[in-house]
Amino acid sequence: MKLLNITTKYFLVSFLILLLLWAIAFFFIIKSKIENDVDEFLTSRKVQILQAIADNPKLLQEDSPVQPDYRIEKISPVQAKNISEHYRKIFLTDPVEHEPEPYQQLVTTFSTKTGYFKLTLQTSLVESRELIQIILFTVIALFLVLLLFVVFMNRKLLQKLWRPFYATLDQVGKYRLELPQKIQFPVTKISEFRELNETIDRLIKNNLQAFENQKRFTENASHEIQTPLAIVRNKAELLMQNPDLTAEQAELVQAMTENLSRLSRLNKSLLLLAKIQNNQFPETEEIDVQTILKKLFDDLNELMAFKNITFKMAAAGKAVVNMNPDLAEMLFGNLVRNAIRHNSENGKIEVTIKEGEVSIENTGLPFDGDTERLFQRFSKNSSHQDSYGLGLSIVKSICDFYRFSISYIVEKNIHKISIRF
Amino acid sequence: MKLLVIEDEPDMLNSITSYLAKSGYVCEIAATYAEADERMWLYEYDCILLDISLPDGNGLDLLREIKERKNPAGVIIVSAKNSLDDKIAGLNLGADDYLPKPFHLSELQARVNAIIRRKNFAGKNEIVLENLVIDLDSKTVQVGEHFLTFTRKEYEMLLFFVSNKNRVVSKTSLAEHIWGDHIDQVDSYDFLYSQIKNLRKKLKELGSAFNIQSVYGLGYKFSTL
């Protein structure tokens, strides 16, 4: 869930609860205030009426005109004793609309020289109820508008405030240590984000430094190893020339030479990997995949003949890639040698070329491991002791460098490597 | 034939000179830029082996000087750096060949022979080994009046053997010479055996005095029986 949505969610929920509580409280406060006002009004009206009666007792006569808001009834002293002054809410049918309407009544008693009377005063609550409703609606409307505004502002503000953060995130997500690119952090006034950018920048610089060191180390180490290796190899070659070598000694020299060759191959491969990663193959030219593959397979036809491998090449389109010719030779050479090397006796190799895609299929031993691992350094199929597994690692490095996508599929005894350019 | 080997690593220098001396070349040595410079002023060489990284200078500068002075010697650059830039720069400056370290001495021998043959090309461009005659222009192999066709690779193998005659050539160096540097990635050298067998058969059929002998498990030797 996005930060923006989470903040909005929390904001919305807490705001709604607050609004609800506020509205309820407000409603009851206003309601009781208005009811108080009504009661006060009735009380003051009562005082007015009693005053009027005291001034003019004729008002109590039976034929006095009927007043709309009060009624006076003569009652017995016993009744008067039983009635205490009280307010009550009643519903009376409206003569025009024939609907019950709320009224507040004040019932009280008073006595004059002529006897005991019951006074019932009433006032319509319709207006105050409407007032309460209007107030309530206004409050709710106000709060809703406020809520919308706040949520909207919150989103806008968050979006604006967090923009540098998302920009940084985007940059870091796209960053690849092995590619020659620099991160351009957005300029921001927010100190936390600035700190974040600085921290990431430092982290990347440290990583880059470590990466550079590692690359340089590999390259330097390989270079340093090269000369003594060359010397030992040449000495072994000279030793080989000795006519007095016994069969036993010859075997020793042979084992030495073979392993020196392995060592020097390994060294060369490591150096090459370092060079690919150090971007030391800048020149590119257009390479026709079919031409280069044909040449490579042709060059090794004695090997295929030796294993009795059937070779087929089908081109449905032209695959032309723009890349360094030496790396192209390395990439396709490794694939070709791999297809021959891991093939079985009387096996098959099938090359399919389509526009922007090439796949090489060869028969071989079933492989049930993780094919992804085949691309990693020093991962090897145990049936081939000589292999240091750098061939496919080089292939992968070159593909990564040019952003080709490569896949390796093994189905039963068919191995298929496809590259899309 | 006179060679100048410019190389600062004494062990390397020894190996090179002792191997090349076996084919009858006179090898002179220089371990520094200054020494090499001086020798090139004083003497003439057929071929110069030039290490690019010298303690007191860059071999490429030396190459530049060789070319400026119109020194006719063939130049093979030998470099531990195996850097493409060096290779391109070297060949652009007029070097005849480039050999990255580590290399097989037999490979070096083949390259030196090729350059000397090219430089000393006068009239007939052919190699004669007893009764075996190889015409380098028409790429034919004959004994007396007897011709046989060799495939391109058989012919290249034969030339490699001829360059390293009477010496043991390892399977690795032979395979790398013919099939390229990366041939050692392909399984075993068993496939070489059938190639050698064919070549041997053809030479025998021709009646060549020289043929390929197996030397224990080490490799092969091109020599008279």
Q: For residue range A147-204, what is the model confidence (pLDDT) as tens digits?
A: 888 888 888 888 888 888 888 888 888 887 766 677 888 888 889 889 999 999 899 8
pLDDT tens by residue, B70-121: 888 899 998 876 666 778 888 888 899 999 888 899 999 999 998 888 877 6
Q: How far is A257 from chain B (nearest CA, A)?
A: 8
Instruction: Give per-residue pLDDT as tens, A60-86.
Output: 776 666 677 788 888 888 888 888 888
How do A414-420 and B2-6 pair as beta strands?
unpaired
**Mean pLDDT over all residues of chain A?**
84
Q: Is the pLDDT of residue A300 over 70?
A: yes
Q: CA torsion angle for B179, B185, B188, B191 (degrees, to 10)? A: -30
Write the CA distances from B120 to A311, B1, B29, B133, integer angstroms: 43, 10, 22, 18
| Cβ distance of A387 and B185 shorter than 8 Å | yes
| Fold annotation for A285-420 | Heat Shock Protein 90 (3.30.565)
pLDDT of residue A137: 86
ipTM above 0.95, yes or no: no
CATH topology of domain B2-119: Rossmann fold (3.40.50)
Mean pLDDT, to the nearest integer, of A375-386? 55
- Please give the CATH number for the structural domain made up of A3-147: 3.30.450
Per the prediction, chain B carries an average pLDDT of: 87
Q: What is the least distance, in Å, from the CA of A168 to any CA of chain B? A: 38
Closest-CA distance of chain B to residue A205, Å: 28
- Which residues in A lie closer than 8 A to residue B18 (C-beta atoms)? 238
Q: What Å distances lie between residue A123 and A29, A46, A51, A299, CA to CA?
A: 21, 12, 19, 114
Task: Give the pLDDT score at A66.
Answer: 64
Predicted pLDDT of residue A382: 46
For residue A380, pLDDT beyond 70: no
Nearest-Å Rg of the Cα atoms of chain A is 49
Strands in A55-208 per DSSP E? 70-75, 86-93, 100-112, 115-124
- Do A337 and B182 make contact, defined as CB atoms within 8 angstroms? yes
Task: Say if the Cβ atoms of B216 and A387 lie within 8 Å.
Answer: no
Domain ranges of chain A: 3-147, 191-277, 285-420
Task: Tell me if B83 sits within 8 A of A271, measured CB to CB.
Answer: no
Q: Do B185 and A237 touch (CB under 8 A)?
A: no
pLDDT in tens, B138-169: 888 888 888 888 888 899 999 999 999 999 99
A55 in helix, strand or coil?
Answer: helix
Is the pLDDT score of A363 beyond 50? yes
Q: What is the pLDDT of residue A65?
A: 63
CA dist list (Å): B21 to A240, A334, B3, B5: 16, 37, 10, 12
Chain B contacts of A233, Cβ < 8 Å?
A: 102, 104
* Chain B residues whose beta carbon lies within 8 Å of the beta carbon of residue A303: 179, 186, 191
Looking at residues A122-140, what average pLDDT do you find?
83
The CATH number fitting domain B126-224, selected from 1.10.10.10, 1.10.238.10, 1.20.1300.10, 3.90.660.10: 1.10.10.10
pLDDT at B199: 92
List phi, psi (to 5°) of A117.
-130, 150
Q: Give the mean model confidence (pLDDT) for residues B35-56.
A: 90
Q: Which of B105, B173, B186 is facing A341, going by the closest CB pair? A: B186
Q: Which residue has the tokens 């001829």?
A: B162
State whether residue A253 sits within 8 Å of chain B by CB.
yes
**Spatial separation of the C-alpha atoms in residues B113 and A78, rounded to whole Å:** 150
- For chain B, what are the domain ranges? 2-119, 126-224
Averaged pLDDT, B7-11: 90
Calculate mean pLDDT across residues A209-215: 84
> What CATH code would you report for A191-277?
1.10.287.130
Residues of B with CB under 8 A from a CB of A: 9, 11-12, 15-16, 18-19, 22, 80-84, 101-106, 153, 167-168, 170, 172-173, 179-182, 184-187, 190-191, 194-195, 215-219
pLDDT at B39 over 80: yes
Pick from A226, A257, A340: which is nearest to B101 by CB? A226
pLDDT bucket at A379, cuts 50 / 70 / 90: low
B19, B180, B185: residue with CB nearest A299: B180
